Amino acid sequence: LSRARLGVDLAATFNLVGTLVKYLSLAPLAPAAVAIGYGESPAPFLLATAIGFFGAWTIERLSYGKKHVGMREGFLVVSLTWLLAAAIGALPYWLTADAQFRNPIDCYFEAMSGFTTTGASIVTDVEGLPHGLAIWRQLTQWLGGMGIIVLALAVLPRLRVGGRQLLESELPGPEIEEMTLRIRDTAQRLWVLYIALTALMVAVLSVLAWTGLDSAMTFYDAVAHALTTMPTGGFSTRARSLEEFGPASQWAIAFFMTVAGANFALMYRAFFRRHPRVFVRDEEFRLYLSLLALGSAVLVVELWTEGVLRGEAAIRHSVVNAVSTMTTTGYASTDFNDWPLFAAIVLVALMFVGGSAGSTTGSIKVVRHLLLGRILGRELDQTVHPEAVARIHLNARAVDERILRAVASFVLLYVGVFALGAFLLALDAARVDSELRLLDAVAASATTLGNIGPAFGFAGPMGSFEPFSDVSKVVMIVLMWVGRLEIIPVAVLFTRNYWRT
């Protein structure tokens, strides 16, 4: 494609990406402080910041001058920023002389899994990691949860990007309600609420630790798990995820996962504007809770009748793992690899549900299921009643037909990408003669595309993604990246008309 016919302003794109990544590369300074506090070497983090800052600054300088980024460039900015963010995230792993991070693809996988809040890990011995590196893993999830560009929009005064495209590409879920606020105000509100909820969770878990209600919980664990619960990430500092924690902590974490899967804009209105009834009236929220309850109930019945678990333990493990899977967090309170196949299939089904729009969750999301159900219902109705005219309503307001088309195409794309991913993983497993079963390949594709975390088999909740081949890891890196940005911003880059004038 010749330069003259190129319809995308690359200089402006790189300039903005450079700026964003430059500021993001300051993030490793936080784990550097933690490393110093635990008497570890802060060198890998300081070096990562230096390399990232200098590299991004170079990109910014080289493309200096043009500032305007339009809607079209927005897709490329978001896609590239997330690729480079994962590169910054990978640097501390690569620069630490830890045996688990010899392979650069592993480092990049771990960083992408972090920023996209997936929680799939190639680490085989989590508790063997230095504290600085362990906190860096948690922090990448916390930064990626509400969105790194949303954060930049909230705090950088000079960032005046064109259009709402950037924000909308990064915020999960279809934008059904017009955002009436200024972009900056929206971004700030989301982050304020996010920080407040994270702080609250640290406090709750700390209280459990200090009052002795949970002897396994420490302040360090409280911070580490708050950092990966609110973004529905799922990285843990414990080898066996939540298993070692007491029931009180598990219930508390289940509660906060449920909160993280709710719509943040709705929560803002409920808490800060004092309209708690918005929850009761919101159709998506009601369906979200119903599905969580349904998924948990099915698991309780299955586990109880199969004699796997009984009593409070059956209820707790069902709820924690159903909530963790549906909200795309990916913690496990027990090794559900050992559960009956029926329960495993229920968990895979929950992987396709997701949380609410405007939450930190991945996957398809409840509102899309709701709207798709209504679209299908309307199609069937119009087959019988050709003259019927119906608009689809959500919360008693008619939804624009363009949004409905976008929802239908998204679900189709999502299922298509998932199937392609599962196919490639199964194919690669056959090539390298891995012990991956078909259900494991399906779960691995669903878990990475949906930004959930654990799969089944060796990549189960207590296992690791390390045994996958490099090719499979690259496939899953792409799935995580595409899944976090909800496919479309990346997919448009592969259309010819995107690049043309």
Cα–Cα distances in angstroms (integers) from residue 236 to residues 91, 112, 117, 254, 264, in the given order: 20, 16, 12, 14, 24
Among the listed residues 388, 415, 427, 438, the single contact to other proteins using CB under 8 A = 388
Instruction: Tell me: does residue 385 bind other proteins (CB under 8 A).
Output: yes
By rule CB under 8 A, what count of residues binds other proteins?
Answer: 9
Strands (E), 16-166: none
Contact of 214 with 309, CB cutoff 8 Å: no
Among the listed residues 99, 307, 389, 435, the single contact to other proteins using CB under 8 A = 389
Instruction: Tell me: does residue 393 bind other proteins (CB under 8 A).
Output: yes
Structure tokens that stand for 177 in this block: 């309600």
Instruction: Tell me: does residue 391 bind other proteins (CB under 8 A).
Output: yes
CB of 370 vs other proteins, minimal distance in Å = 14
Q: Which one of 22-30, 181-189, 386-394, 468-476 is the stretch in contact with other proteins (CB under 8 A)?
A: 386-394
Q: Which one of 79-87, 264-272, 393-401, 457-465 is the stretch in contact with other proteins (CB under 8 A)?
A: 393-401
CB of 398 vs other proteins, minimal distance in Å = 4
Q: Which one of 227-235, 390-398, 439-447, 465-473 is the stretch in contact with other proteins (CB under 8 A)?
A: 390-398
**What would you report as the CA-atom Rg of the chain, rounded to the nearest whole angstrom?**
22
d(CA 253, CA 225): 8
Judged by beta carbon, residue 391 or residue 431, the one nearer other proteins is: 391
Q: Which one of 216-224, 271-279, 389-397, 467-475 is the stretch in contact with other proteins (CB under 8 A)?
A: 389-397
Contact of 326 with 415, CB cutoff 8 Å: no
Judged by beta carbon, residue 312 or residue 381, the one nearer other proteins is: 381
Judged by beta carbon, residue 185 or residue 400, the one nearer other proteins is: 400
Judged by beta carbon, residue 379 or residue 387, the one nearer other proteins is: 387
Judged by beta carbon, residue 125 or residue 401, the one nearer other proteins is: 401
Instruction: Tell me: does residue 390 bind other proteins (CB under 8 A).
Output: yes
Judged by beta carbon, residue 99 or residue 280, the one nearer other proteins is: 280
Instruction: Tell me: does residue 277 bind other proteins (CB under 8 A).
Output: no
CB of 356 vs other proteins, minimal distance in Å = 21
Tally the residues of the chain: 501
- Residues 341-370 touching other proteins, rule: CB under 8 A, are none
CB of 282 vs other proteins, minimal distance in Å = 15
Judged by beta carbon, residue 4 or residue 389, the one nearer other proteins is: 389
Instruction: Tell me: does residue 405 bind other proteins (CB under 8 A).
Output: no
Judged by beta carbon, residue 390 or residue 438, the one nearer other proteins is: 390
Contact of 450 with 483, CB cutoff 8 Å: yes
Contact of 247 with 312, CB cutoff 8 Å: yes
CB of 407 vs other proteins, minimal distance in Å = 18
Instruction: Tell me: does residue 199 bind other proteins (CB under 8 A).
Output: no
157 burial class (0-12, 13-18, 19+ CB within 10 angstroms)?
Answer: exposed
Read off φ and ψ for residue 317, nearest 5 degrees. Answer: -65, -35
Contact of 258 with 292, CB cutoff 8 Å: yes
Instruction: Tell me: does residue 396 bind other proteins (CB under 8 A).
Output: yes
CB of 397 vs other proteins, minimal distance in Å = 9
Q: Which one of 36-44, 201-209, 220-228, 387-395 is the stretch in contact with other proteins (CB under 8 A)?
A: 387-395
CB of 175 vs other proteins, minimal distance in Å = 19
Q: Which one of 231-239, 321-329, 364-372, 388-396 is the stretch in contact with other proteins (CB under 8 A)?
A: 388-396
Q: H or E segment at 409? A: helix 401-432
Instruction: Spell out, one character per residue from 7 to 46, where the chain touches other proteins: x when CB under 8 A holds, - when not.
Output: ----------------------------------------
Bridge partners (DSSP) of residue 6 are 500
Instruction: Tell me: does residue 380 bind other proteins (CB under 8 A).
Output: no
Complete DSSP assignment for 215-256: TT--HHHHHHHHHHHTTT----SSTTTTTTS-HHHHHHHHHH
Instruction: Using alpha carbons, select from 245, 212, 105 the residue that is nearest to residue 237.
Output: 245
- Residues 124-143 touching other proteins, rule: CB under 8 A, are none
Helix (H, G, I), strand (E, B) or coil at 125: coil
Amino acid symbol at 99? A
Helix (H, G, I), strand (E, B) or coil at 181: coil
Tokens 């669903």 belong to which residue? 446
Sign of the C-alpha dihedral, residues 214, 215, 219, 222? negative
Instruction: Spell out, one character per residue from 50 to 89, where the chain touches other proteins: x when CB under 8 A holds, - when not.
Output: ----------------------------------------
Helix (H, G, I), strand (E, B) or coil at 500: strand
Contact of 453 with 123, CB cutoff 8 Å: no
Structure tokens that stand for 485 in this block: 């940005």
Q: Which one of 5-13, 91-99, 157-165, 385-393 is the stretch in contact with other proteins (CB under 8 A)?
A: 385-393
Instruction: Using alpha carbons, select from 227, 261, 415, 286 the residue that is nearest to residue 277.
Output: 286
Judged by beta carbon, residue 341 or residue 384, the one nearer other proteins is: 384
| Cα angle, residue 227 at apex, residues 221 and 231 outer, rounded to 5° | 140
Tokens 């990064």 belong to which residue? 170
Among the listed residues 199, 398, 415, 438, the single contact to other proteins using CB under 8 A = 398
Q: Residues in the site for other proteins, rule: CB under 8 A?
A: 385, 387-391, 393, 396, 398
